[in-house]
Structure 1
Amino acid sequence: MSHDTGHPHIVFEMDLSHQEARRRAEVVAALGADWDPIEVMRGEEAAYDLLYSGLDSAQRETYDMLVAAGVLPGRKAGRAAD
């Protein structure tokens, strides 16, 4: 729906790239010097492995269905984290 009031449109743009870069720098600084992103990723992989281990046949079927539908990532050997 458009209402033409006869007034020209005013374009308003705001470049937030500087603020986003500053925000990201603050996040990294808050993580601290001892933060190890590789170790964090290994921990996440181990948690996922534990979460999906020991599934019974019905749970495995549901898991496989969710992987096939793209809802969950597959947990197969050869993935990037291996």
Structure 2
Amino acid sequence: MSQDSNSAHVIFEIDLTLEETRRRAAVMAALEPGWDPPAVMRGEEEAYDLLYSGLDERQQETYDMLVDAGVLPRRGPGHAAA
């Protein structure tokens, strides 16, 4: 921290590189050794498939409206009930 001699403002600088390194190390330490990112992604896709399956007509209209508005991502064939 320093003060500009021509100003009443105090210059405050901090390097977050070390803190980011510590944060990343803590995340990696918290993960289980058997953590499988592709399996996690598949599980999320399966959850979305289940969430958006079996929609009645009104629910499907709402889903389509949200997709068209960009609130929900468009899912591929077979993902949302037609």
Q: Does TM, normalized by the shorter one, top 0.5?
A: yes
Q: Structure 2: how far apart are the matches of 1:38 and 1:30?
A: 18
- After TM superposition, give the deviation of residue 73 of structure 1 in Å: 1.1
Q: Give the number of the structure whose residues are more often strand, by fraction.
A: 2
- Provide the TM-score with structure 1 as the length reference: 0.79
Where in structure 2 are there 5+ consecutive unaligned residues? 1-5, 78-82
- The runs of at least 4 consecutive aligned structure 1 residues that moved more than 3 Å come to none
CA RMSD between the two structures: 1.5
Partner of 2:64: 64
Percent sequence identity over aligned pairs: 65
- Cα distance per residue 1:18-40 (max 9 Å; x no partner): 21122112112211210001100
Name the count of aligned residue pairs: 72
**Separation of aligned partners in 1, 2:17 and 2:69:** 36
Q: Which structure is higher in RCO with an 8 Å CA cutoff and minimum separation 6?
A: 1
**Is 1:32 paired with 2:38?**
no
Long gaps (5+) in structure 1: 1-5, 78-82
